[in-house]
Chain A
Amino acid sequence: MNLTLHVWRQKGPHDKGGFETHRMSDVSPDMSFLEMIDVLNETLIAAGKEPIAFDHDCREGICGMCSMVINGRPHGPEKGTTTCQLHMRKFRDGDEITIEPWRAKAFPVLKDLCVDRGAFDRIIQAGGYVSVNTGSVQDANCLPVSKVAADAAFDAATCIGCGACVAACPNGAAMLFVAAKISHLAHLPQGQPERHLRVTAMVEQMDHEAFGHCTNHFECGEACPKDISVENIALLNADYAKGALWAARPKQLSGDG
């Protein structure tokens, strides 16, 4: 296959950046998209040029590192697939392919196609966990979880935190990511004690991180490589209203003992 690539190049966070065009010949249709970039980088290195910086890790679709907007779609044209699992057979000989980084104020570009997704980590730190007291191990199955709840929790838990939802959202909102994390724990008994504190803390952090707001375009659900349902966002909205307005908050402790 012969391809023309328009790749975003940016030297660093403060560089203006721009597109660079590369023509590639004899691309194997069996290559993954990232392997195709690897081949391009080999030729760049051999020519003494700076290779294209891009994020990747497991290359088996489970780590959430790869992050490229390919022809206007995060993770490329194939639904429910990460960039690393996208193969060149999905393209045609002679195609022009535009490759851009995730575009969001909350995800600043570090270099070329690499962005800083630390904002997601800070949202998780704000409340995306359950507090577990130490002690001896509980009896297995002592907390009954219905099959329906377990499935719903697991579907949400498949979120790999790649940020494609933010990249796809016309408003640069992180609602699907936060919704997946909220829904994951809200369906399980372990998530109940901190349920409403969690949602208020995580939404507050999400707002603090300069993400946009949800206008229900549902582009996120289409872009998600794990096919996370936008119905989780409805759950997030309802839980937030309860958590922010009605739910009791722990009393402030006075003094330090």
Chain B
Amino acid sequence: MLKFPRLAIAPIACALWAVPADAGKLNLGREAKPVEVRAWDIDVRPDGQGLPDGKGTVSQGDALFQERCSACHGAFGEGIDRWPVLAGGRNSLKSERPEKTIGSYWPYLSTAYDYIYRAMPYGDAQSLTHDETYAILAYLLHMNDLVGKKFELNKSNFTSIRLPNEKNFIDDPRPDMPGRNMATICMTNCKSDVKITRRAAIIDVTPTDEKNPSASID
């Protein structure tokens, strides 16, 4: 009589040991306080979720941009050396050398808010106030000929600003290589003639290590 309950209990215990993932909540971590979430939750979405209260004008943004941004991005967002170009480049996306700027390429203004507030100025991240971020964005919009010089950007008019290239983003259509499958692979006598068409040796931009010329790259 006593044997039955013992046998019945043993398999259940085993099952719990084997699949701890299904054992329910583990009571790990602690609840995040609202003040903690508010401080760390800095992201902004295209629909405006996450936008803080604030405002800034083109002229305020101009002054801020010259002080905080122009050393890398140039006075007009033209980009110094290899630092990113922020303005211009409209109608360049189908050309030989596309210029991807906020005005020519970026799909959403919220992306620029999110990025500037969290990561700029480079090396001094999260040092801008929300008003300063709105102002710098207003100046960037102006440099891209998207708003006039008297424009003020704020939380309420933010989502009404649409960037020109938004409609040109499409979802990933891969696989996109027609006719490449195992059934059609050739293994012998696949070509009659082979010529070298391009060589890295001719446009050689392979890095070399000046300090140590015996490095393995050489």
Asked if A and B are interacting partners, one says no
User: Could you list which residues of chain A lie within 8 angstroms of chain B, going by C-beta atoms?
Assistant: none
User: Could you list which residues of chain B lie within 8 angstroms of chain A, going by C-beta atoms?
Assistant: none
